[in-house]
Structure 1
Amino acid sequence: MSYVKPSDFAVKMVDAGESKAFMSTRDTLIRAFMAGAILALAAAFAVTVTVRTGEPLLGALLFPVGFILLYLMGFDLLTGVFTLVPLALLDKRRGVTVRSMLRNWGLVFLGNFLGAILVAVMMAVILTYGFSVAPDDVGQQLGEIGHSRTVGYAEHGAAGMLTLFIRGVLCNWMVSTGVVAALMSTSLPGKVIGMWMPIMLFFYMGFEHSIVNMFLFPSGLMLGGDFSIADYLVWNEIPTVIGNLVGGLTFVGLTLYLTHVRTAPDRRPPAHDATTEVDVAAPVRATT
């Protein structure tokens, strides 16, 4: 059977977290860079499809292509390591420390950011013919996304910040479910279908993904979006990163670990020992 039961794929999650904690700096950066770049291309594709067709659901249906490809190639997103690496620490895997976990997170963040920024620059060049003309309708939409999802939150003050944070939580609840879904099957079709569903959901619902935003907002700034770098950092990227951490670790990593790796004893009563059981209904015989 291609399906992997939860008690088995939960252990694979811990194994994956341990492996990432010990990965070399070079490999961690390469894999994170490529993940950020591929996800950025997928976001650019989805926005283009949405603008050209006027149908956001079609863009959401197609966006998971990038996510699936990057995970099948063994690349890493910050949202994924937020969920997996702490499990190796919690499981007390030898050599895994808070320092090694934070090192992994920092390197993956850097690699994702560099990959996403590279694609943002490339797309800005394409959409403006090397900044020689005004951006086309796709470029204008990228600028509007940056404005509405920074200044738009700021206009609501604390309520906007809370909304942003919760969208970040919900996003990585779904994205990390997609990461885990790749471990639920040993077949390629099974992995693809498992990853596709939660990623489509998060994108269509407009949840906030820190790596996707590393592409959307810098490209929006380059294409004339009416917001600043400070707006992007304070009113999107930083709260989104925190929300992604809370969502993935709390609702995916810890829940699966606690119930499928550290499963509590069930409430089944202990079996009786047939050799010591006394038949109280049997008659008592007198001895002579």
Structure 2
Amino acid sequence: MAPDTHKIDAHSPPETHELITQAAIAKAKLPWIDLILKSFFGGVFIAIGGLFDLIVVGGSPGLRQSNPALATMISAFLFPTGFVLVILTNMELVTSNFYTMTFATLQRKTTIYDLARNWVVSYIFNIAGALFFTGVLAWWSDSLSSDAQSTYAVTQAEGRVNVNWGYNLTRGIGCNWLVGLAMYLGTSGRDNTSKIFGIWIPIWAFVALGYQHSIANYFNGPIGMFYGTNFSVGKFIWASCIPVTLGNMIGGAVFVGLSFWLLYGRGPALPNEAGAQLGGDKREDGHMNGFKKHHDDMNGDGMRQRPRGDDMA
């Protein structure tokens, strides 16, 4: 008898979007205190990835000078650590929520109020978490202890702020398009190893491509300001925070949420031929009737109905 490959293959696109919908519904049901705490830790975890990146590449001035492409690739490879922590620990990250909440709201499974509540609270407390980590666990802990590291912290911050406003808008779009795809791939995997690979590759790509993530910038900008950048708080908000956030919203809500809703969200969750091939779903009935028997093997992604409304990050 042939082995049941369904149990080890990834979920098909329709199955994955059924899980995305259930995640968004769970997000909408989160109590206020859970939403606040999950959002705070989401910001902290993203800042952890930013500091990991900064310490290594900042401490390699020779490599940056002799082989900048290799330095960029190594730097970008380290940053996804924060995203893996967010998703596998079930925290809230506003940039992934731009995708998930849009998709479910377009399906009318969540409301505009649910979407706005989630976006506003997660954005505010993601910022709070990132700033807390920046001040307490990066600046006060003297993590960037060498001159090369502190100098690079200034250089990378100025490169994010002292640029054209429109550039940061489009860089924000590109970033969250890939963040949404990382969320999709992380959801489609059935085990933690698959999820980590699925999350890691798109995030690695967006960092290497020079795209901008609004919450990460609340670490990268302030840490550079602590060491003496040539821009003010006002310019940081106007030239970086606003355009990158708007770009992230467009990238997540339009290029991922709306696009995937048009493909997979307007009718019953029926895997088509391509979806079945991609997902390894070879059941004879060709529909989602057997889906509930299998989705509980998702590891740590919050798809089960829980009394506290735990959700996918």
Identify the TM-score tier after normalising by the shorter chain: 0.7 to 0.9
Q: Is the 8 A contact 1:83 1:252 kept in 2?
A: yes
Instruction: State the Cα distance separating 1:233 from its structure 2 match.
Output: 0.6
Q: Distance in 1 between matches of 2:180 and 2:195?
A: 14
- Counterpart pick for 1:178 among 156, 175, 182: 182
Q: Distance in 2 between matches of 1:263 and 1:162?
A: 37
The 3-state SS of whatever aligns with 1:149 is helix
- Return the letter of the residue paired with 1:126: S
Percent identity, please.
26
- Counterpart pick for 1:248 among 246, 252, 256: 252
Residue 154 of structure 2 is aligned to residue 147 of structure 1: no
Residue 148 of structure 2 corresponds to 137
Q: Distance in 1 between matches of 2:127 and 2:116?
A: 16
Any idea what the Cα deviations from partners look like across 1:128-153, whole Å, max 9, x if unmatched?
89xxxx973212211222222212x1
- Counterpart pick for 1:102 among 116, 139, 150: 116
The 3-state SS of whatever aligns with 2:187 is coil
Q: Is the 8 A contact 1:146 1:227 kept in 2?
A: no
The 3-state SS of whatever aligns with 1:126 is coil
Residue 28 of structure 2 is aligned to residue 21 of structure 1: yes
Unaligned 5+ segments in structure 2 are: 1-7, 64-70, 273-313
Alignment of 1:1-288 (within 5 A): 1-53=8-60, 54=63, 55-93=71-109, 96-122=110-136, 123-127=138-142, 136-151=147-162, 153=163, 160-262=164-266
Any idea what the Cα deviations from partners look like across 1:38-75, whole Å, max 9, x if unmatched?
11011011011112233221111121122112210001
Any idea what the Cα deviations from partners look like across 1:76-105, whole Å, max 9, x if unmatched?
111011111122221112xx3222211111
Instruction: Give every structure 1 segment of 4 or more consecutive aligned residues whose post-TM-superposition deviation is greater than 4 Å.
Output: 263-266
Q: Is the 8 A contact 1:217 1:232 kept in 2?
A: yes
- Return the letter of the residue paired with 1:12: L
Change (3 A) 1:137 1:126: farther
Pairwise CA RMSD of aligned residues? 2.0
Q: Distance in 1 between matches of 2:227 and 2:18?
A: 45
Q: Is the 8 A contact 1:116 1:214 kept in 2?
A: yes
Q: Distance in 2 between matches of 1:98 and 1:261?
A: 17
Q: Distance in 2 between matches of 1:173 and 1:182?
A: 14
Residue 282 of structure 2 corresponds to none
Q: Is the 8 A contact 2:40 2:127 kept in 1?
A: yes
Q: Is the 8 A contact 1:135 1:223 kept in 2?
A: no
Rg comparison, structure with higher value: 1
Any idea what the Cα deviations from partners look like across 1:158-194, whole Å, max 9, x if unmatched?
xx22211110000000011111111111111111111
Higher relative contact order (CA 8 A, sep 6+): 2
TM-score, reference length from structure 1? 0.83
Q: Distance in 2 between matches of 1:126 and 1:226?
A: 23
Q: Distance in 1 between matches of 2:98 and 2:46?
A: 17
Aligned length: 253
Q: Distance in 2 between matches of 1:233 and 1:189?
A: 37
Unaligned 5+ segments in structure 1 are: 154-159, 267-288
Instruction: State the Cα distance separating 1:263 from its structure 2 match.
Output: 5.4
Q: Distance in 1 between matches of 2:18 and 2:258?
A: 12
Residue 156 of structure 1 corresponds to none
